[in-house]
Chain A
Amino acid sequence: MNTFVNVDNVSRLFGPNLTTGEKIAAKLGAQVETRAVRAVSEVSLMVAKGETLGLVGESGCGKSTLGRLIAGILAPTSGNVMIDGAPVMENDAKVTNRVQTVFQDPFASLDPRMKVGDTVSEGPIAHGLTSKATAETYVAEWFERVGLDPVWVDRYPHQFSGGQRQRIAIARALAMQPDVLICDEPVASLDVSIQAQIINLFLELTRDLDLTTVFISHDLSVVQHVSDQVAVMYLGRIVELGPVAQVFGKPAHPYTDALFSSVPKLVLDADELVRFDTIEGEVPSPLSPPSGCFFHPRCPLATQVCSDDAPRMQSAEDKRDVACHHFEEQLAKLSN
């Protein structure tokens, strides 16, 4: 595989910002929260040029934090992220334009007081991709590319619908001519009928522009549709990583299995119209995760070793990696 995006052993901690007084109080035994959340923990992954990696997991699993680490919005506590062999960040500052982000909420991510044309041209002008003189045609091209009428450049965000705003956000990201696009829940706040339009636009653009993409979503059916590879996260760790058809078709990690089965799925030609199943329990607090494998308190296959040792990533069938002591058992269970 020709690695294009390389995430190498990246971790990110979020600690409480304690004042000196609080630190002293904590030392003296007062109840001050001093624990840090390990939002992303020793994550390594690679994305090949032109491929889309889906990042899935429940809220608080670290998928958005990992997206921000790859996008150079957050600096890792340890480890590093490289794009095409060059680092994304140096000394906690982003040093590349080759990665851009599309965020979830197109209402919050666009400046309400800025004309949308200026929103799209601001970055490219600052980085010399176009000049003030040529900006108008440059922006018009990108507007057309994302399915917006270029005569709208002088309008403000409030004059657009949610779907159109998300198109503007996509135009803003792509006008920087990135090689890598991070999409953080780009369709989560859109209506179903608009969702399909934006997903189609996304598929068309990533193919035509040969973009390498990280697609973050809690909606497994969307991820299944757009991704080549998928990484499943649980409490900051990747538990399974591999080709999307195999990972969702025959999950090697019991959590992937549980997550995928919990989503109600319409099967129109089956007797049972909707299929889904449930797992017990809730995601534990990231402030005090369980010992060993973080999933063991909810896992049907858990044994003593699971609470003693955190499993390492190992290779399983169909070119995938899985962090589970009992993945062979899990796969055997599904084969029957």
Chain B
Amino acid sequence: MSGPVLSVRNLRTHFFTRAGVVKAVDDVSFDLAPGEIMGLVGESGSGKTVTGFSLLGLVDEPGRIVEGSIKLNGTELTSLSDGELRARRGRDISMIFQDPIATLNPMLTIGQQMKLAIDAHERLGKRAADERAAELLKQVGIPSAAARLRSYPHEFSGGMRQRVAIAIALLHRPAVIVADEPTTALDVSIQAQILFQMRDLAADMGTALIWISHDLAVVSSLAKKLAVMYAGRIVEQGPTASLLRDPRHPYTAGLIASLPAMATPGAPLAQIPGTTPSLLSLPQGCPFAPRCDHATSECNMAPEITFKGDRGWRCFNPITHGNEVTS
């Protein structure tokens, strides 16, 4: 296997608000191989979206990346100027957002906005641009693609709009796409269609994908590896199947156990007590400790992430199983 296309080390993105410093992303590290799909899972406020924004250099005031390194194809992104970043955004790395109504310009036809996205990085005549755009619309499953270039966003259904957004993200065949909850706003039958398509497209184009979602089953249908975030940190990461079948961090285990599909119908669900802490007033030490039934006095200190093989967890008292006693 060749080296990673994206390598993130100790990324910290903080927001300096009047109420205090919000550590939205606090020590996030991972590698992404070419064509690999990684799921980034977490609840609202866990920092998954800000992680995605940081990768594209889209974090606005009062936030900024305070520490860490983001290497895309060997280039350090955190030290680039705005102009240099802009030259890469959309070409080497692009993003798909949750709400396709907000991402598309309602005043421009689909063809016009796709042309704009092409012009940002390439000189291409109108006819060649139209051909490229139509080709991509076809690939994401839009029928009579060439004719639809003249349509406006409001003439498309929600699912079709998201397909257009995906086609735009794919225009320059970027090495990495960050997809932030791209199917959350869609109906399940459309979601299934898009999940299947994304899996094929990523494989065909060799594009690596970071799929951000709160839905464990949805990410796991695509991603070969997962990173679970809580209060700005990755609390557990590893290959999808092994992480889900044998979670080490009590938070991961709690999330899996609380899914209705895991319980007998009608029986009480396993629940994680309490609520997600505010990032402005995080408990000292491990932020999950107040909700954790494995917590000990040790958890008053913040745990570092421990790696064993391809698995990593940030916990002093990880869950262990009889057959896999950790030394």
Contacts and interface: CB of A to CB of B under 8 A. Distances in A.
Interface in A202-231: 203-204, 218, 220-222, 224-226
Interface string B213-233: 011111011000000000000
A193 B192 contact: no
A276 interface: yes
B259 interface: yes
Interface residues of A, number: 44
Interface string B169-193: 0000000000000000001111111
B315 to A, nearest CB: 17
B43 A192 contact: yes
B159 A276 contact: no
Given A58-B187, A263-B188, A196 B269 contact: yes
Q: Give the secondary structure class of B's interface.
A: helix
Interface stretch (B68-76, B110-118, B121-129, B240-248): B240-248
B281 to A, nearest CB: 13
Given A58-B187, A226-B266, A262-B192, A191 B214 contact: yes
A265 B195 contact: no
Interface stretch (A90-98, A176-184, A278-286): A278-286
A222 B260 contact: yes
A273 B192 contact: no
Contacts of B187: 58-59, 218, 283
Given A59-B187, A218-B188, A265-B217, A194 B275 contact: yes
B192 A192 contact: no
Interface string A59-81: 10000000000000000000000
B265 A274 contact: no
B139 interface: no
B87 interface: no
Contacts of B266: 203, 225-226
Interface in B269-287: 269-273, 275-276
A264 B217 contact: yes
Given A262-B192, A264-B192, A264-B220, A193 B240 contact: no
Interface string B249-265: 00000111011111101
8 contacts: A192-B258, A193-B254, A193-B271, A225-B269, A263-B192, A264-B221, A278-B189, A282-B160
Interface of B: 43-44, 157, 159-160, 187-193, 195-196, 214-218, 220-221, 240-241, 244-245, 254-256, 258-263, 265-266, 268-273, 275-276
Given A196-B270, A261-B192, A266-B261, 13 more contacts: A58-B189, A192-B216, A196-B271, A197-B273, A199-B260, A199-B269, A218-B188, A266-B244, A269-B245, A273-B241, A274-B221, A276-B195, A279-B189
